[in-house]
Amino acid sequence: MAKPKGSPKTGGRKKGTPNFMTRELKEICRQEAPTLVKELIRLATTAESEAVRVAAIKEMFDRGFGRATQPIEGTMTYGVSDQLAELFKENASGTLGSEIARRALPAPDGEHDEELH
């Protein structure tokens, strides 16, 4: 019998316990790391396909230097973006929550609100 929607998860692994296969796979990768790196280098330098070479080079850079950071536009003040701070100022009357609920919840009695743009 299916559980009702929204009922809490029961059983399974405790939170934070890694999946056995994940742990085992990570251990194998650690043991085989020198061989895997050599293969990436081989692919990056000798693969016939340019796409394979680029993918291998990207993997090497990601592993060697870390993935490239993604720039985010905007400014922060005390850990809060100026855009979010402005939204809070605009919501000084406390209407933001009711507006979100109005847009997210179906209208009572099957009535349809005007389409929001």
Residues 61 and 84 reside in one and the same domain? no
**80-97 pLDDT per residue, tens:** 667 677 776 766 666 666
Q: How many structural domains comprise the chain?
A: 2
Examine residue 41 and state whether it is found in any structural domain, yes or no: yes
**Residue 76: partners with Cβ closer than 8 Å, 6 or more residues away:** 82
7 lies in a domain? no
Residue 81 falls inside a structural domain: yes
37 in a domain, yes or no? yes
Give me the chain's average pLDDT, please. Answer: 75
At residue 49, the pLDDT reads 93
Whether the model pTM is above 0.75: no
Q: Are residues 86 and 57 in the same domain?
A: no
Give the 3-state secondary structure of residue 109.
Answer: helix
Same structural domain, 57 and 90: no
pLDDT tens per residue, range 16-38: 776 777 888 888 888 998 998 89
Per-residue pLDDT at 113 exceeds 60: no
Least confident of 73-82, 89-98, 103-112: 103-112
**Domain boundaries, position 88:** 76-107
